[in-house]
Structure 1
């Protein structure tokens, strides 16, 4: 069903990132007028994972088939309960819930990707139609199943030439020859948080620990020479790539953790600068936008105009965009670009789980 001019839709978007820094919930009103989309985030919240959930999600790749299916159901019910709490706290009752889930496996070259958080359980818990499982449709069409946010970049943030997200991985989105191009660049918070945990901290606040280290050119060169960086997009990253290619390089080094951390900052800034168009405005979102030292390094290596938006957009852009993708799926509109993922065609991706009420 095509949106009519003057239409308004209420959606809750739910996002859990690879860095396990919490569950993002965004209550969003979308407006469609004269062929253009606008939005307003009316409420947003991040729910920190308790130790139990953090450990279960972190260990999810090691589970047996039976235990993985159990996690899929349990996490779906957990999401449903958190969404109900959010609805009660805000008074925001959506027409649709859009949940990304938490990625456990992502191997599009083998035609599979898997995010736990069963949409049927969310719909059952909340009584609201839920859209989930956004990536498998594109992967089945030969695509990477990622990144998916560029649809929102193009339709909701068109005033910026480039959109850069600094989450577990850094990914980028921009227009090129009339098509949207996007891809994962390199690890960001995923590797920074992993290193900082060895120092007993959950994350590197303002980059102060990294700032104290020294760049090791030998390690930096090894990281910059990883084969992924020479590949042309479409391309995407996941935990499997980190475990197989990136982490072994840092782990075999005898450097101090702080020197590894400082070298990782330099590596991230170099790779992002190489991937970013040289001119125009770059909208930076994701948790890494709060990392003062990382942003300083980006500005050192890039000639583009780096723009840090208001805190709510930094924190909740991905939850906002997945709310939008869920709405587009509900409307039967394209929400996944083949030019981004490499799929055989554009698609309207995501599985719709009705609320069960006629």
Structure 2
């Protein structure tokens, strides 16, 4: 086959909701072409927000039960999506919702069991994209660089401003990628303290003031100067960046303002100069809608870089799109995880398949 209709599922660490996309991928003239045919975000209710946020402290038995229950929930949502839009799909590719990510301890768990998803969606499912890479000694993350390279070749950098910011780019003929810093996990947690789901357009952050001491504390952890491959998990963010913010006795708007400077600073430090011409940066993820953060990022980077925010559907659904594409590569038994990105012993074909 050279054309696939795939449903991609993505749930990010910021708990914004479940992204569902129907994508068509076509292989023509040795290039992959994508089309987003239908897309939606299903907001989590209080039950799923509480369950997904707090389950890292529950018992093993409860965690297994929740894994199955969430897989059933994903399958049910896919079934509704298919019926409402009269969709025909070849299979589902699901990232799941990350609960643990500690690759140095060979631990990474994405909730949403593929068997339960397949059983309730009535479709084959590709899932569990990280485990094989970790078994091969890799970080199991980031996973999107293969999709970045094959679907968005016109950009020098692909920057995702999700719960955690990450970047991928080609350097000396190799695709490289790594997590940069916490992003929306910080901004949304602070906005929640003001009773908001998020800081719309970064207005509250824009109204605050920069606190140099707090900025230095946020920039201090050794992770930021460590070489890649490297990746971040929720646990690290809670123990470092969020703990630092919680300890700061300054106004909330100032914390948001300083956090945006921290995020922009780390991105600037992370991006190498690849060539002399102006370098194009594709910016996606929820943070791309934060106008203050995007403006600040362009200011930090200067004229050598051009920050490009694409159409809203690409901003919102790029990760779900790419996991759908990683599912296609798994289906074709083509490598979808790069050792140059994760530090694994070899490239690998990640993903478990469940047939309905």
Normalising by the smaller structure, the TM-score range is over 0.9
SS of match in other structure, 1:101: strand
- Please give the residue correspondences for 1:148-167 in structure 2 after superposition, counting only pairs within 5 Å: 148-167=143-162
User: What residue in structure 2 maps to residue 312 of structure 1?
Assistant: 313
User: What residue in structure 1 maps to residue 172 of structure 2?
Assistant: 177
User: What residue in structure 1 maps to residue 246 of structure 2?
Assistant: 251
User: What residue in structure 2 maps to residue 292 of structure 1?
Assistant: 291
User: What residue in structure 1 maps to residue 354 of structure 2?
Assistant: 353
User: What residue in structure 2 maps to residue 15 of structure 1?
Assistant: 10
TM-score computed with the length of structure 1 as normaliser: 0.96
Q: Could you tell me whether the CA contact under 8 Å between 2:103 and 2:134 is conserved in 1? A: yes
Please say which of residues 76-85 and 246-255 is displaced more in the overlay.
246-255
- Please give the residue correspondences for 1:1-358 in structure 2 after superposition, counting only pairs within 5 Å: 7-278=2-273, 279-303=278-302, 304-355=305-356
User: 1:137-175, CA deviations, whole angstroms, 9 ceiling, x for partnerless residues?
Assistant: 111111111100001000000011110000001100000
1:128 and 1:114 map into 2 onto residues whose CA distance is: 23
1:159 and 1:260 map into 2 onto residues whose CA distance is: 36
Q: Could you tell me whether the CA contact under 8 Å between 1:101 and 1:117 is conserved in 2? A: yes
1:163 and 1:277 map into 2 onto residues whose CA distance is: 13
SS of match in other structure, 1:159: coil
1:79 and 1:24 map into 2 onto residues whose CA distance is: 10
The Cα of 1:249 is off from its aligned counterpart by: 1.5
Q: Could you tell me whether the CA contact under 8 Å between 1:11 and 1:96 is conserved in 2? A: yes
TM-score computed with the length of structure 2 as normaliser: 0.97
SS of match in other structure, 1:69: helix
Q: How many residues matched? A: 350
SS of match in other structure, 1:59: helix
Unmatched 5+ stretches in structure 1: none
User: 1:63-105, CA deviations, whole angstroms, 9 ceiling, x for partnerless residues?
Assistant: 1001000110000000000000111122222111000000000
Q: Could you tell me whether the CA contact under 8 Å between 2:339 and 2:346 is conserved in 1? A: yes
The Cα of 1:244 is off from its aligned counterpart by: 1.8
1:142 and 1:235 map into 2 onto residues whose CA distance is: 12
Q: Could you tell me whether the CA contact under 8 Å between 2:79 and 2:122 is conserved in 1? A: no
2:86 and 2:163 map into 1 onto residues whose CA distance is: 31
Q: Could you tell me whether the CA contact under 8 Å between 1:276 and 1:302 is conserved in 2? A: no
SS of match in other structure, 1:27: strand
1:252 and 1:45 map into 2 onto residues whose CA distance is: 37
SS of match in other structure, 2:243: helix
Q: Could you tell me whether the CA contact under 8 Å between 1:96 and 1:327 is conserved in 2? A: no
1:42 and 1:254 map into 2 onto residues whose CA distance is: 47
Cα RMSD of the aligned pairs, angstroms, is 0.9
1:202 and 1:271 map into 2 onto residues whose CA distance is: 24
Please say which of residues 32-41 and 283-292 is displaced more in the overlay.
32-41
SS of match in other structure, 2:41: strand
SS of match in other structure, 1:39: strand
